[in-house]
């Protein structure tokens, strides 16, 4: 993998991890367009590094909230901080369970499933369109909301379903304040990213990688910087009810994908 390809893929990962357009789909599409010929273990290593970089950008943007989450976990008092920590844990459970029990089946879905991706992109677009038209409220995420949002995150494992798009849309449709919905969506995925990274490393799939360090480093930096920008930008877009523009993009991309699959 060349340095330029690594930077391009890093930027794509950093942007699409937070923008509601399905990061996994765009990353694989970009690899195909760039005719990436990396060995499987090199591709996995690069993916792990990019996910680490975007997770790190999330930690930087929400450093205050993350400190409060840890404080809530360490306290024995049933206060707002500890309750928020429990909600994050609840939201993680559906995706974690699905990921562990059905890992092989999930990986099979990412093998040239253009029709499925197209259909799921249209569903993502519909969720975004409906969320953009939802009534504004100032409600916080409840425990039942956390579970439902977590189920949405689990469903977003499907290629073409945007994780951020699904979780933010479901939150807003449940009546959660838009800014709170976006912040909860980004915070709830951080533990899952690190968990997935740990699993990939422990499985040994990247142990034999001989990928050059410079493309890895520059790709990670690109993903980190793009993630910082996209994360902050996405919060503002949700607050201003501008998700509909991403819904139009998903409708178009989904329709094109379905057309080419027939």
Model pLDDT for residues 62-83, shown as the tens digit of each residue: 898 888 877 777 776 777 888 8
Q: Which of 38-47, 65-74, 80-89, 215-224 has the highest mean pLDDT?
A: 215-224
Query: Higher model confidence: residue 147 or residue 46?
Result: 147
Mean pLDDT of 174-192: 89
Query: Higher model confidence: residue 128 or residue 78?
Result: 128
| pLDDT at residue 115, as a whole number | 82
DSSP bridge partners of 176? 139
For residue 23, how many other CB atoms are within 10 A of its CB? Answer: 23
Mean pLDDT of 229-248: 86
Lowest pLDDT segment from 21-25, 77-81, 162-166: 21-25
Mean pLDDT of 208-216: 73
Does 38 score more than 60 pLDDT? no
| pLDDT at residue 36, as a whole number | 60
Handedness of CA 183, 196, 81, 68 (dihedral sign): negative
Does 218 score more than 90 pLDDT? yes
| pLDDT at residue 247, as a whole number | 92
Model confidence at 216, pLDDT cuts 50, 70, 90, reads: confident
Mean pLDDT of 22-28: 69
- The mean pLDDT of the chain is 83
| pLDDT at residue 39, as a whole number | 45
Lowest pLDDT segment from 64-78, 174-188, 195-209: 195-209
């Amino acid at each position: 993998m060349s340095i330029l390809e690594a930077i391009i893929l890093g930027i794509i990962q950093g942007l699409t991890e937070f923008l509601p357009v399905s990061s996994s789909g765009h990353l694989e599409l970009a690899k195909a367009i760039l005719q990436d010929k990396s060995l499987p273990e090199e591709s996995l290593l690069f993916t792990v590094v990019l996910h680490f970089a975007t997770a790190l950008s999330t930690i930087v943007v929400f450093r205050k909230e993350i400190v409060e989450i840890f404080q809530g976990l360490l306290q024995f008092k049933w206060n707002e901080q500890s309750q928020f920590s429990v909600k994050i844990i609840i939201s993680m459970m559906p995706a974690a369970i699905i990921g562990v029990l059905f890992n092989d089946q999930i990986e099979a879905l990412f093998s040239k499933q253009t029709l499925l991706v197209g259909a799921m992109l249209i569903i993502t677009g519909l969720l975004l369109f409906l969320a953009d038209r939802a009534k504004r409220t100032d409600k916080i995420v409840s425990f039942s909301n956390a579970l439902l949002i977590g189920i949405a995150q689990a469903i977003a494992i499907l290629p073409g379903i945007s994780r951020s798009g699904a979780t933010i849309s479901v939150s807003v449709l449940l009546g959660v304040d838009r800014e709170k919905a976006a912040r909860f969506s980004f915070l709830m995925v951080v533990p899952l990213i690190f968990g997935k990274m740990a699993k990939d490393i422990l499985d040994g799939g990247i142990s034999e990688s001989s990928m050059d360090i410079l493309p890895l480093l520059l790709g990670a930096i690109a993903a980190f910087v793009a993630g910082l920008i996209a994360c902050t930008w996405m919060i503002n877009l949700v607050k201003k009810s501008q998700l509909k523009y991403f819904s139009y993009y998903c409708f178009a991309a989904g329709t094109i994908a379905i057309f080419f699959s027939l």
